[in-house]
Structure 1
Amino acid sequence: MSKFSEISSKDNNYLKFVDKLQTSAKARSEYNLFVLEGLRICRDAVDCGLSVEYTFVSSSFYERTPEIAESFFEVSKLNYVVKDSLFLKVCDTKSPQGIIVVAQKPSLNSKITENGRYVALDSVQDTANLGAIARTAEALGINGIIINEGCCDPYSPKSLRSSMGTVLRMPILFADDLPRYLNDNNLTAVSFVLDDNAVPIDSIQYLQRDVIVIGNEANGVSTAVKDASRLLATIPMAGKVQSLNAASAAAIAIYDYTKKARL
């Protein structure tokens, strides 16, 4: 049997630390750690080879499935069985499954591959949008997502849930200056904008080094990125609809991009 400690006090420092990581992007960045909640995504983290620092299971989870808890204890540095009422207080979900893992964040320093297909996010702020875009990107064969300084944390609880674990598998690359990053990597931007003068999506002819760019939910693609783009593209809309949310626009753009790339 693997070693574990029991937690029965609300003042436990480890529980306070988990709560801090759950709620603070700054803390996740400072400690380079993030929280995964639920059996499936915790297993995904282990399968992806992430370094697991802590495993927390509720008392009832351990009583029901000791063999599953023990399997996580084997790969985790520190292990805790937590009183049910206390476990609930550090969970981000309304109906927790009884297991939380704290792991090292994946590196954001992946390299661009020669024939890879990429999506760049220009200051996308909604974690649910980022997670949904990542999930769509993986499903349609995108090789990685490029994020800039203005983007939300891809390893927030909401992003993890929305992506269904995709952000653990999908290379996420960080660009402090998106136009410069694209230029340095010999990539060209096809930026999706709300502009009647932009090229309709049906008319786009993609080049091998093109990257789809999706902009901020409120302000769209920044002026700097638009000025550096090879092409400004738009998704024509019927009726009285004037815009799509970032995740919906990205899904349409990525589908068009990958479909034409296969032709």
Structure 2
Amino acid sequence: MTQDEWVRRGSSFGAVASAYADLRPGYPDEAVRWALAPVAADVAGLRVVDLGAGTGILTELLIRLGTDVTAVEPDAEMRAEFARRLPSVRLLTGSAEDIPLPDGSADAVLCGQAMHWFTMDRALPEIARVLRPGGVLAGLWNNDDDRVDWVAGLQTAAEGATSPALSIRRAQAAALQAMDFEPRSFLAAERAEFPNAQRHTAESLVATLATHSRLLVMDPPDRDRVLVRVRDYLRTRPETSGGEFTVPLVTLVLRTTRVEADADAGAER
């Protein structure tokens, strides 16, 4: 996409903040535990930054797991929805490129469905600054499993307007891994996948798709045409035409570790 479209899409979610919070899927416990495993086997008490926290979907899980969460979110409407749902959680105005936290103040920085909106050449040094040596940076993404035939058909019916399918996200994650995540600051990135199936009806799935950025920035007639096409497709498939059905999602996690202080100093020499 063009830079202008990337900016428009990245800033589009506030207009549907309430629906986003209600409809977007959460993350499996084991995915988050795997993301945090390089820091500690017991995640309770870890100082975790939820960067690009949105409406707090990932934050809720981090709280339930017992971590000490600070949420950072640039969009005012998303922050307002977050504060309505999680009023007792520390929530700061900021972005991946400008994190309002002290040096070395976090054990981990987690990014749920957000890292692809970062300007990475500015975000990585800022994240490295906030992380303590040995701390973890991890991105988590929920993806439709297009290895399943009807899910691949849904991607076609939606004209690519859904979240990237698993096959595309794997390629994007591989490209991020190839960046080496600034070898002066981070170790080589690792990747893992976790099943995250979700129950839906045709209407709830269409409503969820309507919270995705490509649809949000479409002209209304084009958006309506795509959503009607998706509804029609779901009615024609035996897997999705009979009421509730399971959508096979896969949560992909990419994690890397901040280099230890002695390695960092060695890189400076």
TM-score of the aligned structures, taking structure 1 as reference length: 0.29
Larger RCO of the pair (alpha carbons < 8 Å, separation 6+): 2
TM-score of the aligned structures, taking structure 2 as reference length: 0.28
Larger Rg belongs to:
1
Return the structure number with greater helix share.
2
